[in-house]
Amino acid sequence: MKVVIIKYNAGNILSVRFALKRLGIDAELTDNKDKILNADKVIFPGVGEASSAIAYLKNIGLDVLMPTLSKPFLGICLGLQLLCEYSEENDTPCLGIFNEEVHKFPPLDKVPHIGWNRIKFNQHILFKGMESSIYVYFVHSYYATIGIHTIAETDYIVPFSSALQKDNFFAVQFHPEKSGEVGEQILRNFLAL
């Protein structure tokens, strides 16, 4: 199986690569369009700022390519946010795969959201073999609203989408690569699609 991790203007990408290595997958880190097109699975992780990340994707044409992909695609953290319609972070139009918008947690409360929190979901292929109300690891100051593509939600100040799915596009706000056995199972479920 050929798995690629999209390389772009974001941090924390290598931790996903190491998590996949632990599962026996040697994923390639690339921003090469042909390699992305020829992959079996595509992972779009990241920690960073929305407008500079979108600018990088536009500069190399991945903003046009990514929405056309038909293979299993997984966004993680900033990757989820960039797949949404719009981010409040620096007033950024995003890729628009999901209709949901991204907002900053209310400023009077504790931001960023860091640490373990519960996700609630109904039966879904991404969470196969798990019971709802599992704990996963989060690090973020912005969140996706709950909408038609929400497949899991979490409460932190406000309820938000902790996972989204539309067609072949899956995305999680939490970090499966930092979420222990639960995170490994989510990555295995994605790789098995």
- The whole-angstrom separation of Cα 39 and Cα 100 is 27
Active site residue 113: no
Give the single-character DSSP code of 150: E
Among candidate residues 113, 140, 149, 175, the one labeled active-site is 175
User: Which two structure tokens, joined as six digits, stand for 154?
Assistant: 């979490």
Question: How far is the C-alpha of 164 from the C-alpha of 11, rounded, in Å?
Answer: 21
Write the DSSP symbol of residue 134.
E
Beta strand segments in 38-88, E: 41-44, 73-76, 86-87
Query: What is the C-alpha separation between 83 and 179, in angstroms, rounded?
Result: 22
Q: Active site residue: 49, 89, 100, 177, which one?
A: 177
85 given a catalytic annotation: no
What token pair was written down for 172? Answer: 């999680």
Is residue 84 annotated as a catalytic residue, yes or no?
A: no
Residue the block writes with tokens 């931790």:
15
List the catalytic residue out of 49, 77, 94, 140. 77
Cα 134 to chain centroid distance, Å, stands at 17
List alpha helices for 69-192, DSSP H: 78-82, 180-191
Q: Which residue has the tokens 């290598």?
A: 14
Which residues are identified as catalytic? 77, 175, 177
